[in-house]
Structure 1
Amino acid sequence: MVLENQKITLLEKTIFERVKFKPPLRAIESMEDEACLIYSMQGRSELYAAEHTDGLSSDTSVLMKCGSFINSWQVTEQADPYEAIAIHFYPDVIQLIFEDQIPEYLQKPVGDGSRVFQKIEKNEILKSYIGSLLIYFNHPELFTPDTVALKLKELIALLYQLNSNGIREILSDLFNPYQVGFKSVIKEHIFHQLTLEEYATLLNMSVSSFKRKFKELYGIAPGQYMQTKRLERAAQLLSTSSARVTEVCFDCGFGDISNFSKAFARKYGLPPSAYQNQHLT
């Protein structure tokens, strides 16, 4: 549940955004001709891209080029609301703030373009920059168009100076989407708790097109295929480890222990716990 959302704009586009919210919260972003940096001030999330997955925790951030992403903010033991800062990049805004003298490192691609996001671990310089933004969020009247331009240029220069090959690769290719393979997306996320709608989003497809393409490639409906693969993995884990049934359930992409147990028993003739006991004794 979103508690507060502050937005600062330039050219009628959101550039700086501050969000306070209570988890769980699932944010689905399809960024066409846009890139973004997300800084987690408080909270933990799992970030899913088409062929990559990573996690965010407090004071870590992620730089994302254009594309589709799912950011799943998860419940933890902390009682305080989560808080995140998002900074958005657009081609026309980049041209405006650099007055058409765009640095070469934003124009000359580095790498093969396959890197769609780069996680940035805790960094004191970036943390100080975010702290300076909070002053403006607390006094939004100070956020003039010139100030917005200066702070955005400052961030771009700061990111480049972090001297990370991953960051520089993304900065050089912010607005060119990476063409992903259908099967590689399925392979990456089959054991994650994604809906069919979210799979379709990551592949930039409609749900109906996703289902049709899936049936063409795999011969069965996506729900059947994924459940079979998840149950097979669960059986393998239960027969070779002493992990708790609940852990196996969620590790294999099931979101509900009751449904998992029923589906497992239908396929293997035993409840998960009995199956595990039979194979480990």
Structure 2
Amino acid sequence: MRKFVSIAITTMLVFAVGVANGQGYTFRVLANKGQNKVKKEGAATPVALKTGATLSDGDQLIASQGAYIGLMHKSGKTLEVRTPGTKKVSDLAKMVNTKSASVSSRYAKFLASKMNEKEQPNYRQRLNATGAAKRALAGDEQIKALIPAEDASVLGDKAIVTWDVLDDMEENVFIVTVKNIFDEEIMKEEVTGNSVVLDFTSEQMQNEEGLWIINVRAKENQDVSSGDIAIKRPENPSQYAEGLSSLKAEVDEDSPLNKVIYASFYEENGLIVDALTAIEEAIQMNPDVEDFKILKKDIIERNGIKVYEETE
């Protein structure tokens, strides 16, 4: 938990400096898909829009066909632009309800610092490297479930568990089993792809202990396995109730961008399974937005979840 407090404090200090040096901005770009541009006030020609850029009232946003642009208003509220055409930033600002934005502002700013391209250039270059291949190290599992090895607490009623496999692994069908604390199998599901949705409200998944042991195996070769990984309910779930309730009062959960803000809330509170579930929901809602995938990888890296190393 101490690590997350440190991250939060560092983030707020960095952002405070940014705000002090740039009070005039109206929006910050959190996600950007498409050949979008911005015409800055007083400029003769538009330039390419970049994640992390700031927009002022006098600027014009030029969205391409099929665009997705996720904006954070200076109040902390978010706005998504999906339709093509030229839009005045001042007009977009009028669409934002800035009332009751104290909690969402905190986590939107936390998110902005993580997705700012200028702050993480080397990381983004590494993620976008071409020709990279995944390789296993000695002692590695052949399937890596993307769950923290320790303190994998889950607050929500469901979790989307994903896993990583080697590039040369032809298997695409997996058997996911869930056991309770008594080593009794309570769920078994065959899935295609690299994710499964666990519904903790279903009758078979409910148990008083609040602990689930998950294993992923290749269907055709069940010796290829993730090993057993446990997730559990937090010891004191009520400690998150007030913050989560306040966030829900300000931010709906029905948009990809807002899912990412919820991921920021969960990560700062050490609920990494919930954070990864929220960001995975954002990715599934709009899979072409590369920034969401980068943020997921960022959460994984920050929290020490093992993945296969990528080599050129």
TM-score by length of 2: 0.25
Q: Is the radius of gyration larger for structure 1 or structure 2?
A: 1
Query: Larger % of helix: which?
Result: 1
TM-score by length of 1: 0.27
